[in-house]
């Protein structure tokens, strides 16, 4: 063992010890290790920051932005309305989402599958009042498992197919050659994750980001558009949709007059205003689902055209506020500041007039729609106190199918190798900005920068380990260790070592290192290399112990509020199950 190898193995050991300890944040630990590696000369200084431009890092950052665009466009609400029920039991929800994620990731890149479903899972967790951290990890694992089933589901399968073509076999694996073994592994893994695995995830306050916060319920008005399909329906017929979105219809305004108890049986007409009590998220979902307008829709449309995106603000009226004792119409909030009043929350007091004609009182909480570039000025002008920013946004429901088409087109092009995946995702981000689905000013707010630093720091260290011969040293030891063992035992050892490497290195690099080792093992036994290549393909994808082994695990690290040491609790038994079911399946379907 060379000096460089000793230093790198020691660095990796120190990094994992500190990350499992959890005393210091993962990005600081990883970046410190990278700097130490550069100082000690094991990481070339010219490669020190290469990880920040690595495709894996770019994909993680771009996927987070694309996910935000899918939420903002209403694509996520479309999926939650049609397929997801927040009242389902945890296990049933995980089984459903995992099944959807597994199927999608078999036929599209598993990172893209997670990008589509992650915001859906977070929204469902918020509505159900539970921690998103309890369901995001199972979803990530499910999309990784689904990628094992087909040639295009995950990069290791593509690499293995190419290596087979360059070996004595002379031709690559076909699209569904991975299905018998990968399918069995995926089904067994999903069953474990949905029944037992999710219960092993640590439950802390910081895993609840996206979960059920105690949100303020606002009284708001939503208008029936001129050509709405709701015209002619009774208000009572909307109660099912209202219950699903977790809102309450408390009244109806027609011709400027508020109707109370009789509103439930009223037949809706164009320009009727429904009086709604709901949280901001529920209000937006209900508006999107029924295609309703804001009470001041014309002003809102003009603001959208004139400004670089809109922001939703929550502010509290104070005694000294410009709004105290006056109406928003009287102070000219709309024409002076280009801001629309969306809702009012007033504790213990009835509001009987239209919102714009309601006299505001100290303590009222207002939901305002303001131009993003002047939002701070709006708060100062009103003299109100802003509440903590909760990332509220208006769904661009008229752009739902456009956003889905851009995302779907990019995934299709990347899946068939026509466009490089980071480029395809980058084009989606550009499209979302140009079509104003996402304001340019908000792009960088959606990126989890600590995750980017973690990946950017660990990738050069992994590359240095490979360049120094550290991975070859492991491979050589593996060949010597398995000499004289029966074939099933050799397959088991190969899978365990490959999984261990994949939890530390990029799964692509692991495949490139482990596949030749598998071929060498097969040659020493005088048998076909196919079972060994299949074992490497499954094991290289089964990276469940750390957040750095697979991009999907890295993606959920921030949104799920996880720590580095949270993954192995469910990941370790899952990897054992994968080995236990894959080895017999390989022997049955591929033999020796």
Instruction: Give 260-296 pLDDT, tens digit per residue.
Output: 655 778 888 888 888 888 888 778 878 888 888 877 6
The burial of 328, by beta-carbon neighbours within 10 Å (0-12 exposed, 13-18 middle, 19 or more buried), is given as buried
Average of pLDDT values for 115-131? 79
Average of pLDDT values for 174-193? 92
Which pLDDT does position 303 carry in this prediction?
45
Average of pLDDT values for 160-188? 84
Strand partners, 344: 219, 366
Is pLDDT at 211 greater than 60 in this prediction? no
**Which position has the higher pLDDT, 94 or 415?**
94
Is pLDDT at 387 greater than 80 in this prediction? no
Considering the chain, what is the average pLDDT of its residues? 82
**Which position has the higher pLDDT, 474 or 457?**
457
Which H or E run includes 379?
A: helix 375-382
Average of pLDDT values for 352-369? 83
**Which position has the higher pLDDT, 540 or 411?**
540
**Which position has the higher pLDDT, 471 or 5?**
5
Say if CB 274 and CB 292 are below 8 A apart. Answer: yes
Residue 432's pLDDT band (cuts 50, 70, 90): very high
Residue in 541, 467, 543 with CA at minimum distance from that of residue 159:
541
Q: Give the lowest-confidence range in 5-9, 153-157, 578-582.
A: 153-157
Residues 6+ positions from 435 with CB-CB distance below 8 Å = 399, 402, 403
Dihedral (CA of 407, 413, 417, 421) sign:
negative
The residue assigned the tokens 């120094």 is: 468
Domains, the chain, with CATH or none: 57-208+537-589 (no CATH), 214-295 (3.30.70.1450), 304-389 (3.30.70.1450)
Which pLDDT does position 406 carry in this prediction?
92
Say if CB 336 and CB 320 are below 8 A apart. Answer: no
CA distances from 490 to 345, 368, 481, 500, 520 (A): 66, 64, 9, 15, 12
Tell me how far apart the alpha carbons of residues 283 and 279 are, in angstroms, rounded to a whole number. Answer: 6
Average of pLDDT values for 480-494? 84
Say if CB 351 and CB 344 are below 8 A apart. Answer: yes
The residue assigned the tokens 């939650």 is: 80
**Which position has the higher pLDDT, 478 or 501?**
501
Tokens of 112: 């893209």
Q: Give the lowest-confidence range in 119-128, 265-274, 338-347, 355-364.
A: 119-128
Please, where are the H alpha helices in 278-363? 280-290, 297-306, 328-331, 333-337
Average of pLDDT values for 306-324? 78
Residue in 341, 344, 338 with CA at minimum distance from that of residue 378:
338
CA distances from 30 to 41, 268, 454 (A): 17, 59, 6
Q: Please, what is the Cα angle at 461 between 457 and 465, to 5 degrees?
A: 170
Tell me how far apart the alpha carbons of residues 592 and 590 are, in angstroms, rounded to a whole number. Answer: 7
Q: Give the lowest-confidence range in 59-68, 301-310, 362-371.
A: 301-310
Tell me how far apart the alpha carbons of residues 87 and 242 are, in angstroms, rounded to a whole number. Answer: 15
CA distances from 157 to 175, 501, 533 (A): 10, 16, 9
Residue in 502, 512, 520 with CA at minimum distance from that of residue 579:
502
Residues 6+ positions from 196 with CB-CB distance below 8 Å = 573
**Which position has the higher pLDDT, 36 or 354?**
36
Average of pLDDT values for 117-131? 79
Is pLDDT at 302 greater than 60 in this prediction? no
Is pLDDT at 421 greater than 80 in this prediction? no
Is pLDDT at 213 greater than 60 in this prediction? no
Helices (H) and strands (E) in the chain, counts: 24, 9
pTM equals: 0.63
**Which position has the higher pLDDT, 43 or 470?**
43
């Amino acid at each position: 063992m060379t000096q460089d190898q000793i230093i790198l193995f020691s660095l990796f050991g120190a990094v994992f010890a500190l990350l499992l300890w959890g005393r210091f944040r993962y990005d600081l630990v990883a970046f410190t290790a990278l700097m130490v590696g550069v100082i000690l000369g094991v990481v070339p200084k010219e490669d020190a920051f290469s990880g920040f431009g690595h495709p894996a890092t770019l994909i993680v950052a771009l996927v987070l932005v694309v996910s935000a665009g899918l939420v903002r466009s209403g694509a996520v609400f479309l999926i939650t309305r049609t397929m997801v029920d927040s009242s389902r039991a945890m296990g049933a929800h995980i089984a459903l989402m995992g099944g959807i994620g597994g199927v999608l990731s078999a036929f599209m890149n598993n990172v893209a599958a997670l990008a589509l479903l992650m915001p859906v899972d977070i929204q469902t967790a918020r509505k159900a009042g539970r921690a998103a951290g309890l369901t995001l990890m199972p979803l990530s694992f499910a999309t990784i498992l689904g990628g094992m089933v087909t040639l295009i589901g995950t990069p290791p399968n593509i690499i293995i197919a190419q290596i087979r073509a360059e070996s004595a076999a002379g031709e690559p694996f076909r699209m569904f050659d991975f299905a018998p073994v990968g399918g069995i592994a995926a089904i067994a893994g999903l069953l474990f994750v949905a029944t037992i695995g999710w219960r092993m995830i640590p439950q802390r306050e910081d895993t609840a980001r996206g979960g059920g916060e105690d949100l303020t319920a606002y009284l708001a008005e939503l208008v029936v558009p001129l050509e709405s399909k709701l015209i002619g329906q009774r208000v009572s017929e909307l109660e099912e949709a209202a219950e699903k979105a977790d809102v309450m219809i408390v009244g109806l305004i027609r011709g400027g007059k508020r109707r109370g108890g009789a509103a439930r049986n009223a037949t809706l007409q164009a320009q009727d205003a429904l009086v709604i009590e709901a949280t901001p998220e529920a209000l937006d979902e209900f508006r999107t689902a029924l295609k309703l307008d804001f009470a001041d829709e014309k002003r809102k449309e003009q603001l959208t055209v004139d400004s670089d995106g809109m922001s939703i603000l929550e502010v509290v009226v104070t005694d000294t506020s410009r709004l105290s004792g006056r109406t928003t119409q009287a102070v000219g909030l709309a024409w002076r500041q280009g801001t629309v009043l969306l809702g009012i929350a007033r504790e213990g007091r009835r509001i009987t007039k239209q919102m714009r004609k309601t006299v505001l009182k100290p303590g009222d909480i207002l939901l305002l729609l303001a131009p993003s570039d002047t939002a701070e000025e709006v708060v100062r002008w009103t003299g109100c106190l802003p509440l903590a920013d909760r990332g509220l946004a208006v769904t661009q429901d008229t752009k739902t199918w456009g956003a889905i088409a851009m995302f779907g087109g990019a995934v299709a092009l990347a899946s068939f190798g026509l466009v490089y995946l980071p480029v395809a995702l980058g084009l989606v981000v550009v499209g979302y900005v140009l079509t104003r689905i996402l304001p340019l000013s908000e792009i960088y707010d959606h990126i989890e920068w600590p995750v980017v630093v973690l990946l950017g720091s660990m990738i050069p260290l992994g590359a240095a380990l490979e360049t120094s011969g550290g991975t070859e040293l492991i491979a050589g030891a593996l060949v010597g260790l398995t000499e004289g063992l029966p074939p099933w035992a050799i397959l088991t050892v190969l899978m365990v070592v490959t999984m261990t490497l994949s939890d530390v290195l990029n799964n692509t690099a692991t495949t490139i290192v482990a596949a030749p080792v598998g071929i060498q093992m097969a040659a020493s036994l005088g048998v076909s290399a196919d079972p060994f290549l299949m074992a490497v393909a499954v094991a290289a994808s089964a990276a469940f112990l750390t957040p750095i082994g697979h991009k999907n695990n890295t993606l959920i690290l921030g949104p799920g509020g996880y720590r580095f040491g949270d993954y192995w609790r469910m990941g370790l038994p899952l990897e054992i199950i994968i080995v236990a079911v894959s080895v017999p399946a390989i022997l049955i379907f591929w033999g020796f």
